[in-house]
Amino acid sequence: MFARRLIPSTASLVAFEAAARLGGFTAAASELNQTQGAISRQVAQLEAQLGVALFTRVRQRVALTPAGRYFADQARDLLGRLGLAAARTIAFDGDGGTLDLAILPTFGARWLIPRMGDFFARHRDVTINFSTRVRPFDPRAEGIDAAIMAAPPPLPGLTSHRFMGEVLLAVAAPSLLRTTPVSNPVDVAALPLLQQETRPDSWDRWFAAHGLARGREQPLVFEQFLLVIRAAVAGLGAALVPSFLVREELAAGELVPLPGSELTTDGGYHLVYPADREGYGPLVAFREWLLAVA
């Protein structure tokens, strides 16, 4: 449990942070529209409360002590997080604000980002900070407002909306098929296979759907679908990928469908977020837009 007597006032933290950043009490007073004496008193009160010198004072100049440099970094981080928390609290009563959104790299590049212009045209007051994740994770542990995942983690306190299904299509480069002709699903087993690491059983399921067993050769495994697709274009093997992710390559003739049917999975794409973010304005705006567009 933290010691309440050691918690400084916000005013003294603001004064100290400004003085530390600007290198003196006079500059801090000018920035905060206070007197130099007021800044000096607030810093002195903070030092008395902590029982440690934060500045050394020589004539008219001050310099941070080692303890002061440490506390300045902590105060700057704390004030930044407090300001962000205040802005996000206000955003619960409106649509504007910032949304920290984690996305799957290939899904983001091929499907989401090309559609985001429509979202921003509708919600000009929302800013989205994008980051990428490949594997399922707990957004709460990383301070993320929401994430798009292929498989949401089975954790309490998370809300998930499945907004898109998934159909996997077997494809290969024409250059590969010139050296290893394929006329039916049986022939596909003779090809080297490419696999995305979060879909470890996809080829087994595809062959099983055709009454076949996968060959003994282990597939080449990649972290992202984009790498799987580029490896397929390079002729390194056959790929089993969501059909909407390879529309460009199919249209350009870089990849062609292999014989056999598509594989409809029970997976898909989910918007996942902490349950306590349910009413957060920017998330509400994005969720409603995403579910409508998808």
d(CA 177, CA 292): 40
**Adjacency order of strands within the sheet including 158-164:** 126-132, 97-103, 146-149, 269-274, 158-164
- 63-85: pLDDT as tens digits: 899 999 999 999 888 888 787 77
d(CA 77, CA 232): 46
Do residues 167 and 263 lie in contact, with contact meaning Cβ atoms separated by under 8 Å? Answer: yes
Domains of the chain: 4-91 (1.10.10.10), 97-164+268-293 (3.40.190.10), 167-264 (3.40.190.10)
Contact between residue 106 and residue 229 where contact means Cβ atoms under 8 Å apart? yes
Rounded Cα distance, 27 and 190, in Å: 74
Cα 282 from Cα 26, distance rounded (Å): 40
Contact 72, 8 (CB under 8 A): no
Does 96 have pLDDT greater than 90?
no
Q: What angle do CA 232, 252, 243 make, to 5 degrees?
A: 60
Q: Give per-residue pLDDT as tens, 231-278.
A: 999 999 999 999 999 999 999 999 999 999 999 988 889 999 999 999
52 CB contacts (<8 Å, ≥6 apart)?
A: 65, 67
113 — pLDDT class (breaks 50, 70, 90): very high
Two structure tokens written together for 275: 């349950």
Q: What gap in Å lies between CA 221 and CA 18, rounded to an integer?
A: 51
Q: And the tokens for 12? A: 């003294």
Can you read off the two tokens belonging to residue 292? 């409508």
pLDDT of residue 250: 97
Task: Please provide the average confidence, as pLDDT, over all residues in the chain.
Answer: 90
Alpha-carbon separation of residue 176 from 62, 179, 188, 256, 257 (angstroms): 71, 6, 11, 10, 12
pLDDT-derived band at 90 (thresholds 50, 70, 90) equals low
SS3 state at 107: helix
pLDDT at residue 91 in the model: 64
Cβ burial, residue 37 (10 Å; 0-12/13-18/19+): exposed
Main-chain phi, psi angles of 161, to 5 degrees: -125, 120
| Torsion of the alpha carbons at 48, 52, 58 and 63, rounded to the nearest 10 | -110
More confident residue, 39 or 231: 231
Q: Using alpha carbons, select from 183, 190, 170 the residue that is nearest to residue 250.
A: 170
Distance CA 35, CA 28 (A): 9
